[in-house]
Chain A
Amino acid sequence: MTDVLSLYAVADTEPSGPLGTGIGDEPLVLVPVGRLVAVAGSLPSRPSADAETLKKQDAVVRRLAGLFTALLPVRFGESAVDETGVAAKIAPRESELTKALELVRGCVQMTLRVFGEPDPAPEPAPLTAAGPGARYLQARRQEQAMLRSLPEIAPLSLALRPLLRAERIERQEAGPLLGTAYHLVPREGTAAYLAAVEEARGRIGGRRIAATGPWPPYAFAPEGTP
């Protein structure tokens, strides 16, 4: 029916070369928003999320990542009616997007998947607050912190720490996948990263890990609610 402006990524510099085409072979354009710029392409309809299309989008985002000093991939399926619509979505987020771009500049994402048994749940730390409401929040905060930790790979985490600019961890509540660590690594540091992973592979209690990458920094977009 009506064309949509599909969004691929956000950057804060000029591209070092031509943008090329998007997933529908459409010419990509830059939409300036304040001090930022969005990369977009006009498609006949919102793209559907099948494996082939997703791979195509990743290929486009990778190519774009090579054209800017810092780039934040946009989630698949984001679109606006026109350039004004693009600006309306991005402008309110300008300051956190700027910070996130600073963070990822010159870096790539490595993804570590951890499979195997969880450690037995640790004794929860005592709740020290004075009132029941505050203790409730303390307990919820402890739960939240747990979901962002993977103590099972502590020897590996220790070895990787000096090689990372940032880390985001997502622990699974059930299943063979124990959790995932998304690592932000300077572009030249991937060989050292993989070497450290190989070295620590046998020291994590029989659990298995799979490292993939380098990826553009998908997992280092600003978190949902600012």
Chain B
Amino acid sequence: MSQQDAVHLEIEELDALRAEIERRTAAEAPRWNADPEDVQRSVARLLLAITEFLRKLMEKQAIRRMEAGTLTDDEVEKLGLALMRLEETLHEIAARFGLAPEDLNLDLGPLGRLI
């Protein structure tokens, strides 16, 4: 058993790691800067991203309680419908501002990991 070849990485994998390290060490309190050229769209994006963040949090809690059995079938159905409609509405509004669902991923640093 040779420990010398314990890890052999392709060049591209090392580059990916380097980029990852740079990205993470650059982060302090994550910053959100509205684009002064298009403040309306920027602010809309921030508001939608915050709502999307809350939607994901609620979804996670709904699933947790569904799995734990602390919701009745009726509650599961109602919650599911509400979350489904919320997701559709958010994406519709985002589309009107020319925003894709991925644009609503707000990096809240440590808070973001709650999702």
Contact = CB atoms under 8 A, between A and B. Distances in A.
B39 interface: no
Interface string A43-74: 00000111100100000000000000000000
A212 to B, nearest CB: 10
B10 A141 contact: no
A224 B113 contact: yes
> A interface, by DSSP: helix, strand, loop or mixed?
mixed
A195 B9 CA distance: 21
A159 interface: no
Contact of B63 (A141, A177, A224): A141
Contacts, number: 84
B47 interface: no
B5 to A, nearest CB: 10
B12 interface: yes
Interface stretch (A28-36, A124-132, A183-191): A124-132
Interface string A134-149: 1111001100100000
Given A50-B25, A54-B25, A134 B76 contact: yes
B7 A133 contact: no
A116 to B, nearest CB: 9
A133 B73 contact: no
Contact of B114 (A50, A131, A137, A225): A225
Contacts of B57: 225
A141 B61 contact: no
Given A144-B63, A176-B13, A208-B7, A132 B21 contact: no
Contacts of B62: 137
Interface in B69-115: 73, 76-84, 110-111, 113-115
Interface centre among A129, A131, A133, A208 (most CB of B within 10 A): A133
A131 B77 contact: yes
Contact of B28 (A48, A75, A141, A176): A48
Given A51-B21, A144-B60, 19 more contacts: A48-B28, A49-B26, A50-B25, A51-B25, A115-B13, A129-B77, A130-B77, A132-B77, A132-B84, A133-B82, A133-B83, A136-B81, A137-B76, A137-B80, A140-B63, A176-B16, A210-B9, A224-B115, A225-B60
